[in-house]
Structure 1
Amino acid sequence: MHANELAPPRGATRNRKRLARGNSAGGGTYAGKGLKGQKSRSGSKIRLGFEGGQMPLIRRMSTLRGFNNKWRVAYQPVNTGTLQERCEDGAEVTPESLLAIGVLRHLREPVKILAHGELSRALNVHAHKVSAAARARIEGAGGTVTLIGDTAGEAEAETPTEE
């Protein structure tokens, strides 16, 4: 078998029907376009989204301005006042323990501790993020703060430079 002997199987191809070349040619009169109207005229192509002069759907919808960061991480906020109400003195505060006492609804999003409300109990807090004011309140009450998860963005390791 050679390249010049290749051919499609019998019945696989059809000749294109030449329309609008007379009734005897088989595609005359309306040439498959139906009766009158804008779409039957020659050169007719209605642009995408055109609705006949009516205000198009794309222009009827409101416009949303600004930028939406698709990599934004949504944190579940937990206030120090909530920790004061719900946790015992000296308790280990983790996302799992917060879920168990009903502060969190799920563990799908990371937890951030915020400094809203007073804190007088010494707690050992393990969270993904902690605000500076919340860290000061927790450590001021005699507790500790431990960051969990990926904290690479928090503090970059210093690389030694050659002199």
Structure 2
Amino acid sequence: MELNSIQPAAGAKHAKRRVGRGIGSGLGKTAGRGHKGQKSRSGGFHKVGFEGGQMPLQRRLPKRGFKSLAASFKAEVRLSDLEKLPVTEIDILALKQGGLVSVLARDVRIILSGEVSKKFVVKGLTATKGARAAIEAAGGSVA
């Protein structure tokens, strides 16, 4: 195959419909726009969701819910996940390199879920009361 022999698939390309070119074309006179009204005029358009002046659906329905912009910067890590890390000194960088938290994460919280048997030194992270107790019980520390 050569670059100059590449062609689009059969039926992929078709001629643009020429409107307003006489009765015989089937799209003469109003050119497929119907009679009168905003959409028949040149430059006649309305924004998405416009209902002719009636209160649009997206404004009639009540507002609901909330999406936190800070959510993408927060992360949680289980104790059982920390157990799998090959390092003993754990900080945010170690968690990012281990793939346990997103690269965007800024605030990481360690939660009590699973067992911990290794000794860890946790720096710069917050931990729940239960997680802190479990880490300290295994001989580690949370700074």
TM-score by length of structure 2 reads 0.53
What do residues 91-147 of structure 1 show as CA deviations (whole Å, max 9, x unaligned)?
10011111122212214421111111110111001133110000000000000001x
SS in 1 for 2:122: strand
Cα distance in structure 2, aligned partners of 1:112 and 1:97: 14
Q: Gapped runs of 5+ residues in structure 2?
A: 1-49
**1:63 aligned residue:** 63
2:128 partner letter: S
**2:131 aligned residue:** 134
Over the residues paired in the alignment, what is the CA RMSD in angstroms? 3.2
Extract structure 1 runs of 4+ deviating beyond 6 A.
67-73
Number of aligned pairs? 96
Cα distance in structure 2, aligned partners of 1:53 and 1:138: 63
Q: Gapped runs of 5+ residues in structure 1?
A: 1-49, 147-163
Cα distance in structure 1, aligned partners of 2:104 and 2:69: 20
**1:84 aligned residue:** 83
**1:115 aligned residue:** 112
SS in 2 for 1:138: helix
User: Percentage identity across aligned positions?
Assistant: 34
**2:29 aligned residue:** none
Which has the larger helix fraction? Answer: 2
**CA spacing shift, 1:52–1:102, aligned 2, 3 Å:** closer
Pairwise mapping of residues 85-104 of structure 1 onto structure 2 (< 5 A)? 85-88=84-87, 91-104=88-101
TM-score by length of structure 1 reads 0.47
